[in-house]
Amino acid sequence: MSEFDSRDPIWKMLRHASRTEAGPFFARDTVRAIRLAEEEADRGWVSRVMRLLLTPPAVGGALATAILVAGFFLFPEAPSQSPALRTVAQEEAFDAAEEWEEITYFGELVAVNDPADLTDEALVDLLF
């Protein structure tokens, strides 16, 4: 079969297809689309990047980043800790004798058979 053989099934199918006429503004719209595509290609990558950067999510992200950076420059020092936190954070010197006394004291508390024998202070020490 040659390229334009009339016995080709495609041609038979196309004979039964309905005809479509171009609209009255087809040429104008086509030329305008081509012209806009050429103008877009002439502007280059800078205009495409700027168009992407000016979308609402990008503007919001840039604004949030600017606020964070400004906050770091305006408030460079961290807020000071409260005195209670500072005293907890300070490290105490280790005293082996004192630790041994506490261990033996708690050992004596645990060894008590009847909790009724313990004083209120000893119960608090044992539980807390």
Residue bearing the bigger pLDDT, 85 or 69 = 69
Quickly list DSSP for 33-72: HHHHHHHHHHH-HHHHHHHHHTSHHHHHHHHHHHHHHHHH
Q: What's the pTM value of the predicted model, to 2 decimals? A: 0.28
The most confident of 19-23, 52-56, 63-67, 81-85, by mean pLDDT = 63-67
Looking at the predicted structure, is the pLDDT value of residue 84 above 90? no
82 token code pair: 């409260």
Confidence at residue 114, expressed as pLDDT on a 0 to 100 scale = 81
